[in-house]
Structure 1
Amino acid sequence: MNNNLKRESSMAAVFSKEYDHNMTIEELKETLNESDEFIIIEFEESQKHIVEKSIWEVSLKLQYLPMVIESDTGNESEETKNNDELIFYIALIEASSITEDLPEVFSVNTVQEKDYIEATKCKYAIHISTIFNNFPLSDYQRQLKLLNSIASDVSIFLDISCFTARSGEWLKYTSTFSLPPSLDYLYTIHAIYDDDKNPDKIEYWFHTHGLYRVGCIELEIIGVEDSNAAYGQLLNTCAKLFIQNGVPESGFVFSPSYKVNVCWLAWEEALKELNIDKDFSGGFKDRKDGVHDNPSGALVAVDKKGNYRTLDYYKKELTDNPVFLLSGFETEIMRDAAFEKFEYFLELLNKNKGDDKISFLVKLGYNNNKSNKDLEHLWFEVHDFTKEGYFDATLLNEPYKDLGMHEGDRGMHSIENLTYWQIHTDKEMYNPENIYLLFS
């Protein structure tokens, strides 16, 4: 991470119609004092009013429960305490300051119309910001939980740093995770296209919002015209690699997908190197809105001779069932989420066994040896789950490795191999991240 790049993580929650009220600072104090997750080190009312249309503002320093780390010196009495501290800036604001331009600025595809209408009728909202000081995903979850505890009943949630709006139910449910089930909660990817010039030759511009709050550069893909290639997934993979491993030097070549070599260049340099017209989507004309004018790195293809190309150079590799890197860490937090919310999966499975309108899938990790490394993750359709912890399931895809099983084989598989699950209905697909929608 680069602390020089790091910016604030800002969120807001608009109260629900029933909860909407002029919350006082004393109410905030009472809520904070009820928490057993942190100790209040500093609490100070601010007169700066740096948040738009704020009614009151508070600066808050919290120390989260210390993590005790055993020393490697062999002396059991010698311990190191990792005291995780965060400084939050909390404000009660007029809700209209964030709802009046919401559809034009924020991605609202996960917000139901009734929630949006309710939010526009509410007077008050809570705004909360912080600079991540520890592992980004941990601090993101702490920010979510703090916001949820302060605004206990909300209509919509806004992740201002990545221009994404979600329902109040999403905030309440996601706050129950020990960690969010993916690094992509930290940012969002926007895809902009321009079909005005030539409907048969559409320009696409993919870019991220939110990576600056974790000390990474924002990333983008410009100069592409193929809508079938998995450019969004490529950008997603690179963003996660940068969060975990740090931002490599500009021009450093790496492979986020099989047979695909890329590097990043400053977007101005990329436009020049790729000879992209200034009026192309993602060009200079799109950087003057105060939203897309931050420093950003554009991913470019690197051919065998080291020449820079647009990523359409790899459109075949990124269209024909591409394979992307998935780190062990990402797999582990997905696995944790799958187990953490498995009760939902099991409850629905027991209620709907034999119903051909709903299917239950699990992803299980296998290897052809006893090692837990380099697992191949395979999808199975579940028919039943035994009291002993075994899935009665059919393999849905042919393994790359010699695992002694083939597509279409039905057998018993231990829950210990579980890494993810999905539930498919005729209308929607559900997983540990959105299963609350079926129970709300």
Structure 2
Amino acid sequence: MFNLFKKKQNEVKLPEVAPMELWEERSYMHVLSDKVDVEDIDGAKERIQAIDGVNLKEFNIKDDKSGNMILDYKGEEYGVGFYFEDFVFDRLYSLQKQKIHDEDFEKIEKKTKSFIIYMKFNKDYFDSYHLQLKLITAFFPDTLAVIDESAERLLSGRWVKLAAKSSVTPNAESLFTVQAVFDDETNKVWLHTHGMCRTGFSEFELLDISRDNANDLYYLINTVANRVLYQNEAIEDYIFLGEFIDGREIVVAPLPWNVAIAKYPSDIIGGPADRADSHNTNSQVIFLFLSEEDANNGKYTKPSDMEEKLVENPLYYYTNEQTEHMKFMARDRYELLKKAISENPSYKALIKVGLPTDGEDGKPDYENLEHIWFELLEFTEEGFRAVLTQAPYRVAAMKEGDEGEYTVNDVTDWVIYTDEMSIDPNTAYLL
């Protein structure tokens, strides 16, 4: 009868999931600028009122220049808080960093004060993030840099200004980062995101990845986060993410971190010892289902056991929402492409064009486009001339080397190759 009081042999007590931190529940950003140094926010209220789509309902400020405001933006109400704080440069070394101009970074190194602006994202987190950038540039038109504390990333002030004035919201990858923590003894890597929680979704992780394959498996976790954000839908059980090189589907099935770590050795990086004080809130570890039978039986496969296949050029699917966003950003910043090429003859550019595919009736199918790269030859009054860099799969009448004339309305992406780097619409602030 004593067996009734014993734990079941296979019962395991799971670690507890901690409540989210403030910077996970809300989006926290720290602004650096010359005007921040002297706590000069004169005219900020008027500049905020002038933001297109903003209806400022309250603007409260105390003697120490901390405060809060309530505003409507695109039909949603937001509460925003702000205050000044001492800034320590050393903290930047733990952050991911956008490319920063050298002269800007020299100024950043000397900063000792920051302006913190924080807010809770509403259901449209793309608009919420965009609004926060707009408020930053309204407070400080001279913004030098921004530390996105929630995503643990250093943003160039030039990128912030470009993004804030754009008619297109920043892309999904602007909302999160993927960080890597290395174990030099085992040569293993723990990949995890920061910034997802503020959107209302969980963070994502990959455990026990080999260091040699970390760059390849980055695309797995990055694609999962992008898929969730662009489709605005949490992963309930599993999702189809793409295809292995042999054509088998890549099926992702995440588990809460406290359940997932029980499937790994306890001494791995990202294991229980690394969860005592951080990375212990709203986060999921990515696993795979290798078959329908696995999905039906709850048989989870570790990505670390499939690294050989995951580095062999898997095909990850883009959502329609992601493709549309890329298209609108490319068109929104098309004039920056024209200006850069016109002023720098040594620069080369590729432009992605959406070509109507062959319909079943032999006529062009404008509802189903094939997005393919052309090399820019020259700009024309109506648009540009370009040469096809590869044969389309579903446009029989065109082949590699064909030339054509297109307009900005055909553009779905572009990239500029300078003497030092490649620049796309998202990084056009580097031009």
TM bracket, shorter-chain basis:
0.7 to 0.9
1:216 aligns with 2:197: no
For 1:373 and 1:224, locate their aligned partners in 2 and report how far apart those are by CA, in whole Å: 40
Q: Could you say which residue in structure 2 is the equivalent of 1:241?
A: 227
Per-residue displacement from partner, 1:280-301 (whole Å, max 9, x unpaired)?
22222322343x2323101112
Classify the secondary structure of the residue corresponding to 1:175: helix
Find out whether 1:61 has 2:70 as its counterpart.
Answer: yes
Deviates more, 1:222-231 or 1:178-187: 222-231
Moved more, 133-142 or 404-413: 404-413
Q: For residues 210-260 of structure 1, give each alpha carbon's deviation from its aligned partner in whole angstroms, at most 9, with x where no partner exists.
A: 1111100001111222516632122122112222232122xx222211121
2:380 counterpart residue number:
386
Q: Output the amino acid matched with 2:235.
A: P
SS in 2 for 1:268: helix
Deviation at 1:363, TM superposition (A): 1.0
> CA RMSD of the aligned region, Å?
2.5
Q: Which residue of 1 aligns with 2:16?
A: none
Cα separation, partners in 2 of 1:387 and 1:113, compared to 1, 3 Å: closer
Residue 93 of structure 2 corresponds to which residue in structure 1?
103
Count residues with an aligned counterpart.
393
1:403 and 1:284, CA in 2 relative to 1: closer, same or farther beyond 3 A? farther
2:45 is matched with which residue? 29
Q: Distance in 2 between matches of 1:406 and 1:315?
A: 36
Q: Which residue of 2 aligns with 1:87?
A: 79
Match of 2:191 in 1: 206
1:420 aligns with 2:413: yes
Residue aligned with 2:358, SS = coil
Letter in 1 for 2:376: V
Aligned-pair CA distance for 1:375 = 2.6
Give the Cα separation in 2 of the matches to 1:41 and 1:332: 33
| Identity rate, percent | 27
2:104 alignment partner, SS class? helix
- Measured in 1, the distance between the counterparts of 2:50 and 2:343 equals 38
Matched-pair contact (CA < 8 Å) for 1:137–1:179: no
- Alpha-carbon distance in 2 for matches of 1:34, 1:248: 39
In structure 1, the residue corresponding to 2:138 is in which secondary structure?
helix
Structure 2: distance between partners of 1:385 and 1:120: 41
Which amino acid in 2 is paired with 1:311?
A: P
Deviations 1:168-216 (A, max 9, x none): 222112211123341111111112222333xxxx312211101111100
The residue number in structure 1 matching 2:5 is none
Provide closer, same or farther for how the CA distance between residues 403 and 137 of structure 1 changes in structure 2, counting only shifts above 3 A: farther
Q: Which shifted more, 391-400 or 233-242?
A: 391-400
Kept after mapping to 2: 8 A contact 1:301/1:313: no
User: Letter of the aligned partner of 2:402 in structure 1?
Assistant: D
Measured in 2, the distance between the counterparts of 1:338 and 1:186 equals: 19
Shift of 1:387: 1.5
Q: Distance in 2 between matches of 1:107 and 1:114?
A: 19
SS of 1:12's partner is strand
Distance change (3 Å), C-alpha of 1:113 and 1:345: closer
The partner residue of 1:324 within 316, 329, 341 is 316
Distance in 1 (CA, whole Å) between partners of 2:380 and 2:173 is 33
Q: Which runs of 5+ in 2 are unaligned?
A: 1-18, 244-248
CA deviations 1:277-325 (Å, max 9, x no partner) are 22222222322343x2323101112122413222144434433332212
Separation of aligned partners in 1, 2:318 and 2:44: 41
SS state at 1:293 partner: coil
- Name which of 180, 185, 205 aligns with 1:191: 180
User: Aligned equivalents of 1:348 and 1:116: distance in 2?
Assistant: 23
Structure 1 residue identity aligned to 2:287: V
Structure 1 residue 416, shift from structure 2 partner: 2.7
Aligned partners of 1:158 and 1:167: how far apart in 2? Answer: 9
Alpha-carbon separation, structure 1, partners of 2:149 and 2:336: 30
The whole-number CA distance in structure 1 between the counterparts of 2:323 and 2:98 is 26
Q: Distance in 1 between matches of 2:306 and 2:393?
A: 23
Closer, same or farther: CA 196–32 of 1 in aligned 2, 3 Å: same
Residues 22-421 of structure 1: matches in 2 within 5 Å?
22-23=39-40, 27-45=43-61, 55-64=64-73, 83-96=75-88, 99-104=89-94, 106-108=95-97, 110-112=99-101, 114-197=103-186, 202-225=187-210, 226-227=212-213, 230-243=216-229, 244-249=231-236, 252-258=237-243, 259-273=249-263, 276-290=264-278, 292-304=279-291, 305-306=293-294, 307-353=299-345, 355=346, 358-366=347-355, 367-369=357-359, 370-389=364-383, 391-421=384-414
TM superposition shift of 1:120? 4.0
Q: Matches of residues 8-19 of structure 1 in structure 2 within 5 Å?
A: 8-16=26-34
Please say if residues 8 and 130 of structure 1, whose CA atoms lie closer than 8 Å, have aligned partners that are also in contact. Answer: yes
CA distance change for structure 1 residues 204 and 216 in 2, over 3 Å: closer, same or farther? Answer: same
1:45 Cα shift?
3.6
CA distance in 1, matches of 2:308, 2:37: 52
State the one-letter code of the partner of 2:175. L
TM-score (norm 2): 0.83
What is the deviation of 1:19?
A: 6.5
SS of residue in 2 equivalent to 1:434: helix
Structure number with higher helix proportion: 2
Q: In the superposition, relative to structure 1, how do residues 400 and 224 fare at CA in structure 2: closer, same or farther (>3 Å)?
A: farther
Query: Which piece of structure 1 moves more, 410-419 or 426-435?
Result: 410-419
Gaps of 5+ in 1: 48-54, 67-82
Whether the aligned pair in 1 keeps the contact of 2:217 and 2:311 (CA below 8 Å) is: no
Q: Normalising by the residue count of structure 1, what TM-score does the alignment of the two structures yield? A: 0.82
The answer to whether the 8 Å contact 2:350/2:415 transfers is: yes
